[in-house]
Amino acid sequence: MTTVVPTSEDDPALAVVRFTSELAWADAGPEVAEPQVTSLCMEAQECIVMGRWLDLASLMLTSADLVFSKVSDKDLECIFTVICNLASKLENLDEFEVAKLISTKITQQPNDKPALRLKILFNLYNLLGGPDSRFFVYMQALNLALNGKVGDHIIPSFKKIDCFLKEWNIGVKDQRNLFLTIANVLKESKSSGKDSFKFLTKYLATFSGEDSYIISEAKEEAVRSVIEFVKAPDMFQSDLLDIPAVAQLEKDSKYALVYQLLKIFLTQKLDAYLEFQAANSTLMKSYGLVHEDCITMMRLISLVDLGSNESRQIPYALIKDTLRINDDEVELWVVKAITAKLMDCKMDQMNQVVIVSRCSERIFGPHQWLSLRSKLATWRGNVASLISTIQANKVVEEGLPAGQGGAKCMQRISVI
C-alpha cells in the first residue's frame, strides 16, 4: 500500500501542476475542475514521494502543453524550467528518458512559438550531465530550428561543434545526421553558402572507407554538394573530387554529367564549359544554374589556371582568347581576379603581359603537396644559407682590429 506524505505547495513541481491544471480545466466549471485539479496534484505528490520522476515529467508536460497558448512567454519559460529541472535529479538512462520525453513534447508543434521552444531546449541542454542526453536534445533543437524556421538562434553554436563532438563522443552515423542537419539549417536560413557547403562536405567525408552500398546512400547529397559549389560566387577551390561519395557519380547513369560538370569547374577552362553547356543546357536549367554566372566563374578560374604556368607571365592576347573577351576587357578581368583574392599580380601595359606573383590552386591534391614541399625545401635551404653567411661574417668581424668592424658592417649593408 502506497503512503502519501503531505508535501508543501512551496514545491515548484507541485506549484506548476496546480497552476497548469487549473488553467487546463478552467472552462469546465468549478464542479468538474476542482476534483480533476485535486486528483492531478495528489498524483504529482505520489510521484515525488516515490521518486517516479519520469511519470512526474509526463504528468507536468500533459498539463503544460494544454496551456501553451494561454499564458505569457515568461510564465511558460518558468513552467518549463521547473519541468526541465527534473532531469538534473537523475543519472544516465533515467536522465536520458526524461530528456527525451521533454524535448519530444516541446518539438511536437515547431511553428507555435518556435523561438521560445528553442530557448527551453537550450535550458534543458544546460541542465543535463550525460553526453547521450545532451546530443539527443541538441539534435531536437536543430530539427526544431529547421522546421520552425528559427535557424538564426542556433547558428552561433555551430562554432563550437568540434568541442561538442569531443564531449558527445558519438559514432559515425550520428555524425552524419548532425552534419547534414546543420547543413540544412544553414541552407534554410540563407547563411553563407560556404558554411553550408562546409558541413555538407563533412557529411560526405564520413562515408570514406565504406562499401559501395553504404556510399550510395549519400548520392543525392553528393549531387547537392556539386551544385552548391558550382552556384557559389565565392568558392573557387574544393577537394570534392577526392571524396568517394562524390567520385561514385562518375559512373552513375543518372548523375555522370553532374560529375563531369564538377570536373570542368575544378580542372578545365572556359571552352570546355561552353561545350558542355551547349550540349546540356536543359540539365543546367533543371538544377537552377544560371549560364551567365557560370561563365563569370569559369573566366575567373581559367585566368587563375593561366597564371599557374612556370613562367608566371600571361600575355594579354592569351587572356583575351582563353576568356573570349575583347581587348579592352582584359585588365578588367585581371582586377576581378585580384579582388577575389585569386591571384597577386602586376599588369605590364607596355609589354602587354600580366606578371603573376601568387596564384590560388583550384584543387589541392598530391601534385600540389609535392610542389609545396619543394618550395618549403628551397626556402629552408635559402634560410640556412643566409644563417651561414651571417655567422661567417660574424667570425670575420670578431677577428678584425677595433674600429674596422663598423666599416665592414656598412659595406655589407650596402652590398645587400
Query: Cell numbers at residue 355, please?
Result: 606578371
Span 287-301, mean pLDDT? 95
Q: Which tens digit of pLDDT belongs to each residue from 173-208? A: 999 999 999 999 999 987 667 899 999 999 999 999
For position 393, what pLDDT does the model report? 77
Query: Is residue 357 scored above 50 in pLDDT?
Result: yes
Q: Which helix (H) or strand (E) holds 4?
A: none
Q: Which tens digit of pLDDT belongs to each residue from 358-393? A: 888 876 555 555 655 666 777 787 887 888 888 777
C-beta separation of 96 from 136 below 8 A = yes
Q: Which tens digit of pLDDT belongs to each residue from 214-236? A: 999 999 999 999 999 999 988 88
Planar angle of CA 163, 100, 63, nearest 5 degrees: 130
The pair phi, psi for residue 345, each rounded to 5°, is -160, 170
Span 260-264, mean pLDDT? 96
Could you tell me the pLDDT band of residue 411, with boundaries at 50, 70 and 90?
A: very low
The pair phi, psi for residue 101, each rounded to 5°, is -60, -50
CA–centroid distance for 6 within its chain: 52
Report the range of poorest mean pLDDT among 316-320, 369-373, 412-416.
Answer: 412-416
Look at 303 and 378; give whichever has higher pLDDT: 303
Delimit the domains of the chain by residue range: 289-362
C-beta separation of 259 from 250 below 8 A = yes
Q: How far apart are CA 343 and CA 307, in angstroms?
A: 8
For position 89, what pLDDT does the model report? 78
Share of the chain above pLDDT 70, in %: 88
Q: Which tens digit of pLDDT belongs to each residue from 1-14? A: 333 344 455 688 88
Could you tell me the pLDDT band of residue 414, with boundaries at 50, 70 and 90?
A: very low
Cβ neighbours for 43, distance < 8 A, ≥ 6 positions apart: 59
For position 404, what pLDDT does the model report? 52
Q: How far apart are CA 337 and CA 382, in angstroms?
A: 31
Span 351-360, mean pLDDT? 92
Instruction: Report helix, strand or coil for 354.
Output: strand
CATH topology of domain 289-362: Arc Repressor Mutant, subunit A (1.10.10)
Q: What is the pTM of this model?
A: 0.80
Look at 133 and 416; give whichever has higher pLDDT: 133
Query: Is residue 402 scored above 60 in pLDDT?
Result: no
Query: Is residue 262 scored above 70 in pLDDT?
Result: yes
Query: Is residue 412 scored above 60 in pLDDT?
Result: no
Q: Which tens digit of pLDDT belongs to each residue from 54-87? A: 888 888 888 776 777 788 888 888 889 999 988 8
Q: How far apart are CA 45 and CA 104, in angstroms?
A: 24
Cβ neighbours for 86, distance < 8 A, ≥ 6 positions apart: 13, 53, 56, 57, 60, 98, 102
